[in-house]
Amino acid sequence: MQTVCASPLFAQEPAFVSLNFEDQVAGMNCQSPKRNWGSQGKDLVLIDNINTVKGDGNCMLLERPEGYKSSGWGVGMTLPQKQYDWLKIQVSFLLDGPATKATAGLELREHYNKRLYFASLGSAKGKDPITLIDGGSGWKTSKTNTFDRKVWNRVTWYVPSVTATDMTMHLQLETWDSKNKAWQVVGKIGSMEASKAEKPFASFRINFPGGEESIKLRFDDLLIEPMTNEQINLLIK
């Protein structure tokens, strides 16, 4: 059994990305992250302060009007081309809409034309799966957990980079307990063997699904930071 332990005391490299949307204006278009593939069309990406994790502050909202047919697209950002062992990606999300349509995906690219790793959020009736996907080894998949779309959830995704000593992706799911104002771990950490990364990751994306149903996808507290092999070894046992 694998568990995630308390964070070890190491000198931490500065985060590559840290977005809580508090410096953006509610009701206005989101300024970061920006569209980086596909056609946005009539979809809106706004700053929302109506339905947030802790009941205050801001989050990012993807809103699609009923009847508009989207072919799917995404927002994202480039990442520093630095050598590091692991990449930690953490983001909170709330998906509102039909279970098979209100979905999202997290994606890491080695370079612009090479999709490497994915974490797929949702796309099933009933309990919604979180699926890890390795695009470098024939699209191998592994369902790691299921989430409750009626509440805010948070995933923490640990991805091996060029100098990682263990080529295994890990993903931890948590759900927001609004009564106790705390994140609660859901189930065991999910893991999947990953193909070897040849270069530091070039970009990160949040992918939105195609379709014509009305959906609202919310995201908050996006954190992307490098980690060392030693940190991962102490975190995941």
The predicted-structure confidence for 125-165, as pLDDT tens digits, reads as follows 556 899 999 988 778 999 999 999 999 999 999 999 999 99
Given this model, what pLDDT does residue 123 score? 76
pLDDT for 125: 58
Supply the pLDDT for residue 1. 42
Task: For residue 187, give both structure tokens.
Answer: 């189930």
The whole-chain average pLDDT of the chain stands at 91
Burial (CB count <10 Å: 0-12, 13-18, 19+), residue 83: exposed
Q: Is the pLDDT of residue 2 over 60?
A: no
Cβ-defined contacts of 136-140 (< 8 Å, 24+): 136/194, 136/195, 136/196, 136/197, 137/194, 137/195, 140/192
Q: Cα(78)–Cα(2) distance, rounded to whole angstroms?
A: 31
User: What is the average pLDDT across 84-113?
Assistant: 92
Lowest mean pLDDT segment, chosen from 7-16, 24-33, 220-229: 7-16
* Token pair belonging to 78: 């480039």
- Is residue 8 over pLDDT 70? no
Contact by Cβ (8 Å): 155, 93:
yes
pTM of the model: 0.92
Domain ranges (residues) in the chain: 20-235
Measured between alpha carbons, how far is residue 210 from residues 2, 64, 133, 168 in Å?
A: 35, 10, 19, 30
* Residue 5 confidence class, pLDDT cut points 50, 70, 90: low
The correct answer on CATH 2.60.120.200 for the domain covering 20-235 is: yes
Cα-based distances in Å from 133 to 64, 169, 223: 26, 10, 20
Summarize pLDDT for 155-196 with one digit per residue, the tens.
999 999 999 999 999 999 999 999 999 999 999 999 999 998
- Residue 95 CA to residue 4 CA, distance in Å, equals 25
- Residue 110 pLDDT > 70: yes
Q: For the chain, how far is it from start to end, CA to CA, in angstroms?
A: 8
